[in-house]
Structure 1
Amino acid sequence: MDVLSDLLHRARARNAQIRQLIQRPPWSMTFADAPPLTVVATLGGHAAVRLDDDPQTAPALLATGDIALISGTHQYTIADAPGTPPQVLIRDGRKHVIDSGTAAWQNLAPRTYGDGLSGATTLLRGAYELCGDVGERLLGLLPPLAVVPAGPRSRAALELLAAEVAQEEPGQDAVLNRLLDVVLVLALRAWCARPQAEPPSWYRALATPVVGDALRMLHEDPAHRWTVAELAARVGQSRATFAARFTGVVGEPPLTYLTGWRMTLAADLLRDTEETVAAVARGVGYEDAFAFSVAFKRARGVSPSDWRRNVRSGWQVGS
C-alpha cells in the first residue's frame, strides 16, 4: 500500500456523510461544529465558501465541476454567492432556520434536499471524521480552504457519485464512501501537483524513485526491525548513497522518519484502544517497553501512560 493510501485508510474513523443540495438561489448554509475534513463539489451552477472563523482566508468561488476541500475550521458557510445572508444553521446534525423568510428545503430523495426546481444549483457535500494523529498528518497536506478546478477525471467521478447519491440499494453506503474517496484522492493529487503547492516533503518524496519505494516499505511494515542497510539493499543502492538521497528528499534520515511514523501510530493506539503500553510498543516495533516509553516521551513530551490519560480526559471535558 502506498503512503497516501495508508494514511487515508488509517485516518478514517467512521463512514463519511454525503448529502446533495438542489436549490435555486439565493441559498445559504452555515455549518457549525465542522468535521475535520469536508469535500464540496458544485455539479451545476455556482457556489461560494467562506470560513467564518478564519478572516485571513478569502472566500472561494466554485464554478461547475470545482471541488473545495475544507479543513482546520470550526464553522464555515456555503452559499450561492458571498453576499447571501445566512439562512440555515446546521449544528449537531440538526437544521436551524435563521431567516424566517427562507423557503423550506424539502427531502427530494435519499440524502438529497432542496426545491429541485429549474435553475437550481446542484451541490455535493461529503464530511469526513478523521482519526487522531494519522488524520492530522493527512490534513497537513492542505490549507484551511483548497479549491481544485474542474478536470476531466474528477468530473467523471463526480458524475458517478451524483448518479448514486439519490439511490437506495443494497450496499449503497459502501459504494458512496468509495466514490467519495476517489473524489478526495483526485482532489488531493490535483492540489499537490500545482506549481505553487507546498506539500509536506514526504508527499513530494512519493514520486521520487528509490525514496518512494522505501517509504512504501516502511508504511507496509512499520513494526519490522528496519536498518538503513536493509532498506538500501532492497532498493538496490549502497547504504551511504541511499541514506543521503532519502535525507535530501524527505528532510530527515530514514530511521528518524520511521520513528516519527511509529510514534504517530502509537499515539492513535493509545487513544483508541485498551492495549497495554507493552502491547502498543510491540505493535509499532519495540520489543522493549522501556525503550518505547523513552522514545515516546522524547517525541510527545510525556510518557505513554500520561499521554493516554491526558487525551482521554480532554475528550471527556469536550464531550
Structure 2
Amino acid sequence: MDVLSDAVAAMRTGHPHSRRNDKHAPWGMRFEASNGAGFHVVLRGSAWLIPAEGEPVALGPGDVAFLAHGRGHALASGLDVPLEEVRLDADGRWPEPEPPSRAEGPEPDTVMLCGAYTLDRSRAHPLLTELPEVVHLPARVGAHRSLRAAVELLGEELEESRPGSATIVTSLLDTLLLYILRAWWQDGHRSAKGRPTGWAAALADPAVGAALHAIHGNPAHPWTVEELGARGGLSRAAFARRFTALVGEPPLTYLTWWRMTTAGRLLRADETPLRLVAQRAGYTSEFAFAKAFKREFGVAPGQFRRRVS
C-alpha cells in the first residue's frame, strides 16, 4: 500500500468542495479557522496569501498554496485592502458568488481555484502534521506536470457545469491533494544540504520505507521488529534504532497506532462486523481488540461507531 495515500485516507471525511473565484481589484477575503484544509491556485493575475502566522506570501500565475492546519488565513489583491469574511455553507460548500457589477468590467483581474477538505484531526498522521503553515509550490516550467494537469482539468470542470461534473470534481480534488503533497515531499521538504528530512527521509530510507510499506500493506500480519528489519537487510537492533530516529517512535508502537487508526476508519465508514474489524486490525480475539481500542480511543468500538455515525 501507498503510505501517503493511506495517511490522507485516514484523515479525510465528507466530500471536498471547490469553486472558481473571479476577482476585480481591490478585493480581500478572510477565511476563519476550521477543522479542514484548503488550497488556492492562481490561474490568472496575482494575490497575497496572508497566513495566521508568518509572513505574507505573494502568489503569481500557476502558483499553488496549500494550508493543512485550518488556522485561518486571508487572500487579497494587496496588503492594505479591507478583508471580507468568507463563511462556507452548513455543508461546507462555497456560497454562490455575486455577479460582478458593471463598474468592475467583464474581465476579472485575478482568477483562482479555491477548495476545502474536511479532516478528522483526532487521528492526524505525522506525514501531515509536520507540514508547514503554508505549502507554497511556485509555478516553474516543466515542474510537477501531473499537478498542473489536474489543476487545468479542475478549472475546466468548474468553469462550466456538464454531465458528470459533480463526480469528476470530487475525484479531481482528491487527486489534486495527493499531487500537492507529493510535490512538497519530492522537492520542498529538504534540509539546507538538499537531503530529505522528517517523514520524507523515512520514506526515502530503504529499510524504514520497506517496513512502512509492509505495515501499511498488511497491518493485520503479526509483525516483529526482526521481521520488519529483515525487509531492509538490517539486524533487529540496527533497524529499531533507525526506524525510531526517522519516524519518531519504535516500530511496534507505530504498528499499533496504525492498526487502531485503520480500525477507527472502518468503524466510521460502514457497518463491518466488529469481528472482521478486529481481524483487519491484527487481533484474533474480539475481546483483546476491544480492550486495545478503548485504551487508544477512550471508548469501546461499538460506542465509537455510534458516536461518529
TM normalised by structure 1 equals 0.76
Identity %: 39
**Is the Cα contact below 8 Å between 1:70 and 1:145 reproduced in 2?**
yes
2:131 equivalent among 125, 129, 142: 142
- Runs of 5+ in structure 2 lacking a partner? none
2:106 equivalent among 95, 117, 120: 117
- Runs of 5+ in structure 1 lacking a partner? 97-103, 108-114
Partner residue in 1 for 2:5: 5
Q: Shift of the alpha carbon at 1:62?
A: 1.4
CA distance, structure 1, for counterparts of residue 105 and residue 168 of structure 2: 24
Q: 1:207-264 CA distances to partner (integer Å, 9 max, x unpaired)?
A: 1112212211111111122223333444444444443433343233322210111122
Q: Shift of the alpha carbon at 1:91?
A: 3.7
2:172 equivalent among 143, 168, 179: 179
1:69 correspondence with 2:69: no
Partner residue in 1 for 2:57: 60
**Is the Cα contact below 8 Å between 2:225 and 2:252 reproduced in 1?**
yes
1:30 correspondence with 2:30: yes
1:84 correspondence with 2:77: no
Q: 1:175-205 CA distances to partner (integer Å, 9 max, x unpaired)?
A: 3334334433333234343335999844421
| 1:165-204 matched pairs, under 5 angstroms | 165-192=158-185, 193-194=187-188, 195-196=190-191, 201-204=198-201
The Cα RMSD (Å) is 3.5
In structure 2, relative to structure 1, the CA distance for the partners of 1:19 and 1:185 (3 Å cut) is same
**Is the Cα contact below 8 Å between 1:23 and 1:116 reproduced in 2?**
no
Q: Shift of the alpha carbon at 1:157?
A: 3.8
1:227 correspondence with 2:221: no
Q: Shift of the alpha carbon at 1:44?
A: 1.2
**Is the Cα contact below 8 Å between 1:20 and 1:165 reproduced in 2?**
yes
CA distance, structure 2, for counterparts of residue 31 and residue 280 of structure 1: 38
Q: Shift of the alpha carbon at 1:85?
A: 0.9
In structure 2, relative to structure 1, the CA distance for the partners of 1:307 and 1:196 (3 Å cut) is farther
Aligned to 1:73, the other structure's residue is in SS state: coil
Partner residue in 1 for 2:256: 259
Partner residue in 1 for 2:300: 304
1:288 correspondence with 2:285: yes
1:19 correspondence with 2:19: yes
Q: Which amino acid aligns with 1:219?
A: H
In structure 2, relative to structure 1, the CA distance for the partners of 1:213 and 1:170 (3 Å cut) is farther
**Is the Cα contact below 8 Å between 1:20 and 1:125 reproduced in 2?**
yes
Partner residue in 2 for 1:210: 207
CA distance, structure 1, for counterparts of residue 33 and residue 238 of structure 2: 48
In structure 2, relative to structure 1, the CA distance for the partners of 1:237 and 1:208 (3 Å cut) is same
CA distance, structure 1, for counterparts of residue 210 and residue 106 of structure 2: 51
Q: Shift of the alpha carbon at 1:281?
A: 3.0
Runs of 4+ in 1 over 6 A off after TM superposition: 197-200
**Is the Cα contact below 8 Å between 1:277 and 1:304 reproduced in 2?**
no
Q: 1:270-315 CA distances to partner (integer Å, 9 max, x unpaired)?
A: 5555567655433311123443344445545x34359739x93xx7
Q: Report which stretch shifted further, 34-43 or 133-142.
A: 133-142
For this pair of structures, how many residues does the alignment match?
A: 295
TM normalised by structure 2 equals 0.78
